[in-house]
Each structure stands twice: as C-alpha cells, then as structure tokens.
Amino acid sequence: MHADVSNLEELKRAISNGAEGIGVLRTEFLYGSSDSHSEEYHFQNYREAIKLADNRPITIRTYCGGAGDPLMGQWGIRHSMANEEQFITQIRAILRASAYAHGNNVNIVLPGIADIEEFKWAKDKITTVKNQLKDENQEISGYVPLGIMIEIPAVVLSLEMFTHEVNFYLVDSDKLLQYIMAIDTRAPAAPTLNDPMHPAMLRTLKRIVECKPGQKLNISICGRLAEIECAIPLFIGLAIRSIAIDPSLIAKLFNYMNGIDKESSVRIAAKALALSNSDRIKNYVHAAIDKLR
C-alpha cells in the first residue's frame, strides 16, 4: 500500500497514515519556483523526500509538463526530449539524492512513453549522467531502478519490446482509460465510459500482466482505479505488486484488504474479467467479498 503524492507535505501525511512506500512522487511542484532550473534546489527537495520516506521505497516521476494539453503535444518524455538540459538537471539531482537512501529504495519513473526508442533515449542520458557524477566523485546509489508509466495504449501493444529494458511499470489508470476510451477531458463523458472498472480497462491490465508468460513483471497502479475498494481483489488476483493512492485512503483500503486471500482473489478476478460491464463487475466482486467475511 503505497502513496501517490504531489509535494512534500502530502508525503509527510502519507507516512504518518501508514504508507509502506511512496508509489509516485510527482515533481511538478518544483517547477513553479524561480529556482526550478537549479540542480541544487532539486537535490535538496529530493534528499528531503528520501529522508521523509525513512527507509521506505520512493518512486520519483520525472517532470511531466503539458499533460493537460488537449492536443497531447509535448508532455512527459516528449517534453524531456525537447528540453534536454532540464531533464539532465533533474536526473543529476535525483541521482545525487539517491546516495541518502538506505539500500536501493530510490526509483525513477518516466511519464508519457509511447515508443521503446524514447525509453532508450532516456536510459542513455541517465547512464551518461551517472558516469559524469562518478567522474566528479559525487556519491550516488549503486542501483536506481528505471521504470515507465503505462499511460498510452501503444505501450501495451508493444510491451514485449520493453521487458528486457525496463525494471518496473506504473500504470496510470486515469490516462490509460482516457486514451483507451477516447474520452475528451474538456467535455463530460458517459459515466460508463469513464468508469475505471470498465471491462476494457481491466482486460488491458490482464494483458499487461500476461505480456511475458512465465515471467512476473513488477507492476503497480495509480489513479482512480487504484482507489476503488472492490478493485483490490482483482489486483491481488492479477499479481499487481502495489497500488499508489491518496494518503487519506490508506487506512480505509488497508482495512478492506483484511481477510482477502490470494486463492480467492485469483478466482474472483477470473470471473470478474469475464463480465460485460462495470456495474456487473462491481456487484459480483462485492458479493464475492461479502461471502469471504
């Protein structure tokens, strides 16, 4: 049970509420300051975040920028590729701060990936930065896992290309649902289309999990789907590693998990994914969980 946070105050609240880790620290809060181009400013904030996490895993998302653009222009990795100096500054700061973590608890996740070449570009830049920091005698963690956000359906369709390159995956259920269902964020959508429990969304998750037969991928989920109680047995049944949720919901979802075992969850997930609409799925899961209690 990890937290989804957008600043250090939310991170503090998440830890006090019992979060087992920080599933995603969104870094856009650092870019409203006049110091946003300063490596030292970023370093100090990431170091503070790592200290606040207190030996818990923390995943830092690189700057997303422009995600609200209805034309889906330069956001996520596309923004980073167009603003390489900004990306390098952020990566240098994260890697320097990683030296203050216990073990390999600092992860970097890249948003907006649609193509394996985008990931390789970022990985190459990060490798170069690591070598530069070592040449400067800067301390960094010996291992900083690198993952991607799964937001764009193209990644799901070509996930096999990523499995030998990527250390972990964080599914942003909100963006992925938006792009799967062709929902325009500027206009209200039919409730059935905008429901995170839509069969298309759940079957997409199943496809992600089963991308590499015989190999368990390190997959986590954030967004509205991660915060729905009756989705928890589906996550357990599908072998989703963790969820990243609003800090205020941690205790509530911990309580809901009590008494839900792996064997029952596998059975519930299999039946739920065969149903044809989100209402039937939710009603079935609620009834199945009630029988377990």
Mean pLDDT within 146-171: 96
| Cα distance from N-terminal residue to C-terminal residue, the chain | 21
Q: Are 59 and 109 in contact (CB under 8 A)?
A: yes
Instruction: Say whether pLDDT at 74 is over 90.
Output: no
- pLDDT digit string, tens, across residues 6-27: 999 999 999 999 999 999 999 9
Task: Say which amino acid occupies 149.
Answer: M
* Reported pTM: 0.94
Q: What integer pLDDT is reported at residue 70 of this predicted model?
A: 46
The confidence band for 191, taking pLDDT boundaries of 50, 70 and 90, is confident
CB-neighbour burial class of residue 243 (10 A; exposed 0-12, middle 13-18, buried 19+): buried
Q: What integer pLDDT is reported at residue 105 of this predicted model?
A: 95
* Cα 190 from chain centroid (whole Å): 26
Residue-range domains of the chain with CATH: 2-292 (3.20.20.60)
Q: What is the torsion angle, in degrees rounded to the nearest 10, for the CA atoms of residue 164, residue 166, residue 167 and residue 170? A: -140
How crowded is residue 117: how many other Cβ atoms within 10 Å of its Cβ? 10
Mean pLDDT within 53-75: 80
How crowded is residue 267: how many other Cβ atoms within 10 Å of its Cβ? 13
Please name every residue paired with 243 in a beta bridge, in sequence order, or none if there are none.
221
Q: How far apart are CA 149 and CA 96, in angstroms?
A: 23
- pLDDT digit string, tens, across residues 159-183: 999 999 999 999 999 999 999 999 8
pLDDT over 90 for what percent of the chain?
86
Q: pLDDT averaged over the chain?
A: 93
Q: b/e per residue, 162-191, with b = 16+ CB within 10 A?
A: beeebebbbbbbbbbbbbbbebeeeeeeee
CB-neighbour burial class of residue 71 (10 A; exposed 0-12, middle 13-18, buried 19+): exposed
- pLDDT digit string, tens, across residues 75-105: 999 999 999 999 999 999 999 999 999 888 9
The confidence band for 185, taking pLDDT boundaries of 50, 70 and 90, is low
- pLDDT digit string, tens, across residues 203-249: 999 999 998 766 778 999 999 999 999 999 999 999 999 999 999 99
Indicate the SS3 state at residue 222: strand
Q: What integer pLDDT is reported at residue 102 of this predicted model?
A: 86
Mean pLDDT within 122-151: 97
Q: What are phi and psi of 213, to 5 degrees?
A: -55, 130
Enumerate residues 6+ apart whose C-beta is below 8 A from 210. none
